[in-house]
Amino acid sequence: MNHSSDDIPIIEAVPNFSEGRRTDVIDELATAVQRSGARLLDRTSDADHNRTVLTVAGPPEPVLQGLFNAVGVAVARIDVRRHRGVHPRLGAADVVPLVPIRNTQLADCALLARQLGRRIGDELDVPVYLYGEAATGRERRNLADVRRGEYEALVRDIHDPRRTPDFGPAKVGPAGAVIVGARPILIAFNVFLRTADVAVARAIARRIRERDGGLTAVRALGLLVDGQAQVSMNLVDYGATSPHAAVEAVRRQGALHGVALDRSELIGLIPAGALPGLVKPDTEGEGESLSASALAAAAKKLLLPDLSPDRVLEVALRQL
C-alpha cells in the first residue's frame, strides 16, 4: 500500500478479540482484516488472557472494511459462553478502537466509529456500544464502565434501559457485544512480578491507577498469568505518564511488598516518543533512523527483553 500523496488520511485500529489459543481462528481474523487492503502492522496473542490484539492501519475505507470482515469472523467463530481468560471481555470482538494518525482528527475517528458500529449492528445482528470520543453519553466514555460485569452481566441486564445498545438488537447471543470507539494512541503495557501472589499485583494496581488516586492516565489490573503475578496497564496518555514512569511506580510499590520486578510485556506497538532517550524516527523513511544501542537502552529501562524496531509505531507505519 504505497501512497504518493501526503494528503491521504491514515487511521490506526487496534481490535481486541476474545481468542488467544486457537491459532486457526487467530489466522482467520488476521487474514480477514487484510482482505480489504488494510495493512496489518502487528498481531499479539496471549493464551492466559485468551485474547488477540491486532494493529491495523491505512486509509479509513479499507481499514473499516477490514475491521468489519474480522468482526464477522469473530461473531461466527468465537462463543463467549465458553470463553475463559484472565482479561475482562464483553464479546467475541470485544473492543474496536479507531485512532487518528495522519491528516485525521479524533472527531473524524468518532464519526467513522459510529459508521462502523451501525454497520456491525445492522448486518451482523449483534449489540454495539460506543465508547471514548464516539460515546453517545458521558456514562459510556470509559471502556471499563461499558464492560463492567462482562458478558455474564450483559446477558442479565441487556433489557435495562441503561444497557440499551447504541446499535443492533437488545439481545445477547454467543458472540456477546462489540464495543466500538475512538481514542488517542494508547500503550498496552504489562509488568510481571517475581511472585505468584496475585494479591500483590492487585494491591499495586490499586495504588498506581488514576481512578484510585495514582498515576495520571493509567488504568491497571492485577492478574495471574501463567502462574506469575502481572500488573496489566493501559497508559492512555503517555505524555502524562510514560512507560518508564509506570515501571518505576510498580517497582516502588513492589518493594513495599518485598517483591522485585521480572520483565515487562508490550501489547501491540509503542510510539518512539514513549521510549526513554529515543530519537523519534521519521515516518516517511527519511532522517535519523532508530539507533540499535538507543533502542537497547530503552528496552533495558523498560524491562522489555524483545523490543525490536518493528514494534515502534513510526517504524511500522513506514509500511504504508
Catalytic residues: 87
H-type helices in the chain, by residue range? Answer: 23-34, 60-77, 106-124, 143-146, 150-157, 198-208, 243-256, 292-302, 313-316
Q: Give the DSSP letter of residue 142.
A: S
**Residue environment code for 254-266, b if the CB has 16+ CB neighbours within 10 A, otherwise e:** beeeebebeebbb
The answer to whether the CB of 268 falls within 8 A of the CB of 42 is: yes
Give the Cα separation of 175 and 277 in Å (integer): 43
Q: In this structure, are strands 228-235 and 218-225 parallel, antiparallel, or unpaired?
A: antiparallel
The answer to whether the CB of 203 falls within 8 A of the CB of 278 is: no
| Nearest Cα residue to 99 out of 89, 109, 91 | 109
**Residue environment code for 22-40, b if the CB has 16+ CB neighbours within 10 A, otherwise e:** eeebbebbbebbbebebbb
The C-alpha angle with vertex 114 and arms to 27 and 162, in degrees rounded to 5, equals: 100
